[in-house]
Amino acid sequence: MPDSSGSRPLSELPLEELTACHECDLLMRRLALAEEQKACCPRCGYELQVHRSNMVRRSLALVLTALLLYIPANFLPIMRLNMLGQASQDTVWSGVVGLYRSGMEPIAVLVLLCSMVIPLVKLLCQLAVLLSIRQAAARDLGILLYRLYHGLRSWGMLEVYLMGILVSIVKLLDMAELHLGVGLACFVGLLLAQVWLEVTMSSHQVWDALEDKPDARD
Ligand SMILES: [Zn+2]
């Protein structure tokens, strides 16, 4: 993105027409993007903006998919284990309960927050923000919830949890008879839907729509 494409110097432009790079703080003129176009910082290459087509509808489909997968991912068996004649099956929820009953209450609470509560709150915030874009009266609430969502982004750690599951599967393979459960498939599906949602729900488009720019509300 060029920083002096227009005839007027940057210092004379109104703030709405300027953008700054999040990585290197370079100040630039903000360009109107066509669908599926993106703008990158000319100094460091950071992706400044991307304009997704049908952003709201595609994001709504993904957030509903993730919410549908949330319950089976957390409450259906991740794996069934048969070791020395003893069979057991584990879910994300039973892992939290197991930690609590073993006397590791703080870790149980942390796992509960990072693997179940915060991912659910994030999804509900995203759903409410997307719905508020179409309702002018709810837009202030949408702005509040989108700020909350950005504050929670670094606390949802599904990918760390999945990595832990994969490591335990590899370690247990030689020691026990292991059957992967439908909960694991739902968990991977939930994670993929969330990652896809992060890519689709372009934050500058969401902010533009919440700021009452009609062309951003598709
Ligand atoms: Zn930059």
What would the pLDDT profile of 76-106 be if each residue is shown by its tens digit?
998 888 877 778 888 889 888 988 998 889 9
Å from CA of 43 to ligand 1 middle = 5
Cα angle value 201/141/71 (rounded, 5°): 60
Å from CA of 6 to ligand 1 middle = 20
How, if at all, do strands 27-29 and 47-50 pair?
A: unpaired
pLDDT-derived band at 214 (thresholds 50, 70, 90) equals low
Å from CA of 68 to ligand 1 middle = 38
Å from CA of 147 to ligand 1 middle = 23
Average pLDDT of the residues in 11-33: 85
Å from CA of 87 to ligand 1 middle = 55
Rg (CA), the chain: 22
Higher pLDDT, 163 or 120: 120
Structural contact between residues 182 and 77, judged by C-beta atoms closer than 8 angstroms: yes
Å from CA of 28 to ligand 1 middle = 10
Q: 26: number of CA atoms within 13 Å, CB side?
A: 18
Structural contact between residues 132 and 142, judged by C-beta atoms closer than 8 angstroms: yes
For the whole prediction, is pTM greater than 0.85? no
Å from CA of 94 to ligand 1 middle = 45
The pair of structure tokens assigned to 51 is 């304009």
Å from CA of 26 to ligand 1 middle = 6
Give the tens place of pLDDT for each residue, 185-210: 999 999 999 999 999 998 888 998 88
Å from CA of 97 to ligand 1 middle = 45
Å from CA of 24 to ligand 1 middle = 4
